[in-house]
Amino acid sequence: MNKPILTIVVPCYNEEEVLPETAKELTNVLENLLEDELIALGSKIMFVDDGSSDRTWELIEQESKRNPFVTGIKLSRNFGHQKALLAGLETAKQDSDCVISIDADLQDDISVIREFVIKYQEGYDIVYGVRRSRDTDTWFKRATAQWFYRFMQKLGVQLVYNHADFRLMSKRALEELSRYTEVNIFLRGMVPMLGFRSTQVFYDRKKRFAGESKYPLKKMLAFAFDGITSFSIAPIRWITFIGFLSFLLSSAAGIYALIVKLLGHAELGWTSLMISVWFIGGLLLIGIGLIGEYIGKIYQEVKRRPRFTIEKVLRSPSVSTLPKK
């Protein structure tokens, strides 16, 4: 059986509270996999410091000094979860056969990492971690997530239901991902587009064990909006359609008003006039805003700015023997 060199990529933004524990638990996982000869020496954990303002990077450096499995890269500022993840994937793929991405808060069940690796050895290029239920989420997050998936499905964007960014990707899948050079990245939508043999592994998601969610409502909405407009132009079509519909309706109403007037009946009131003015005005503004959103996206893409900047890379750990427990 082929034993892959595995890298676990962990994006971290102000995660000083969880980092030591995360390093410990992931090290445990790697040690067990090594002992069971499921992965090769050289497997490691790569923390990506996404421009944290707390002691995250210091902790990563400290950890890497005493733990041969730990390495890290530091981004020059906060780029956001998706880009931090991409920076990690791009760096890790250079010396790994497969890469697993996972959040720093260990909400995802690390015991399924073993299953990920087994699936890889069975020949799958992409293994999606899928949440069995959403019990640990608030009602609000559950509901909005569900709407989001439904909406994306309607738009024809292929997403893996209840899969966040906990997944394994093979080197060749990552090489392929590198060819997607867009600046607005939404990995959950991009990875299924790669094709290759893929499968799902189910797990239960826990509560964040320390620290706060780095995804407040505002970021979540922005993320969802990016996801939608980066993958589909259907919303623009809908606006055109609604505009057309309202044009027809208002024309009919106009003809009706004209007939009433010609027949000499009382004039139609100010109310209907105002309503239609506001109605059309609103539609126009939505339409312009939406088109603006796409033009803004095009603007960002044509600039071809780097998607992330790596400031520092810790030396890759040299794990030539099994570390003593």
Interacting residues with ligand UDP (CB under 6 A): 11-13, 15, 50, 78, 80-81, 84, 103-105, 107, 208, 213-215
To ligand UDP, the closest distance from the beta carbon of 214 in angstroms equals 3
Both tokens assigned to 136? 């640990």
To ligand UDP, the closest distance from the beta carbon of 171 in angstroms equals 23
Q: Which residues bind Mg ion (CB under 5 A)?
A: 103, 105, 107
To ligand UDP, the closest distance from the beta carbon of 218 in angstroms equals 12
Closest to Mg ion by CB, 90 or 103: 103
Both tokens assigned to 239? 């606006």
Helices assigned H by DSSP within 184-306? 187-193, 217-231, 234-262, 270-303
Residue 81 interface partner, choices Mg ion, ligand UDP, none, CB cut-off 5-8 Å depending on type: ligand UDP
Closest to ligand UDP by CB, 93 or 131: 131
Residue 13 interface partner, choices ligand UDP, Mg ion, none, CB cut-off 5-8 Å depending on type: ligand UDP
To ligand UDP, the closest distance from the beta carbon of 49 in angstroms equals 8
Chain residue whose CB lies nearest Mg ion: 105
Residue 80 interface partner, choices ligand UDP, Mg ion, none, CB cut-off 5-8 Å depending on type: ligand UDP
Q: Measured between alpha carbons, how far is 205 from 292 in angstroms, rounded to an integer?
A: 37
Closest to Mg ion by CB, 97 or 165: 165
To ligand UDP, the closest distance from the beta carbon of 82 in angstroms equals 8
Angle subtended by helix axes 56-66 and 19-35, to nearest 10: 30
Supply the DSSP symbol for 94. G
The CA–CA distances, whole Å, from 48 to 25, 26, 134 equal 17, 15, 27
Distance of CA 54 to the CA centre of its chain: 23
How are beta strands 70-75 and 310-313 bridged, if at all? antiparallel
User: Which amino acid, one-letter code, is at 112?
Assistant: V
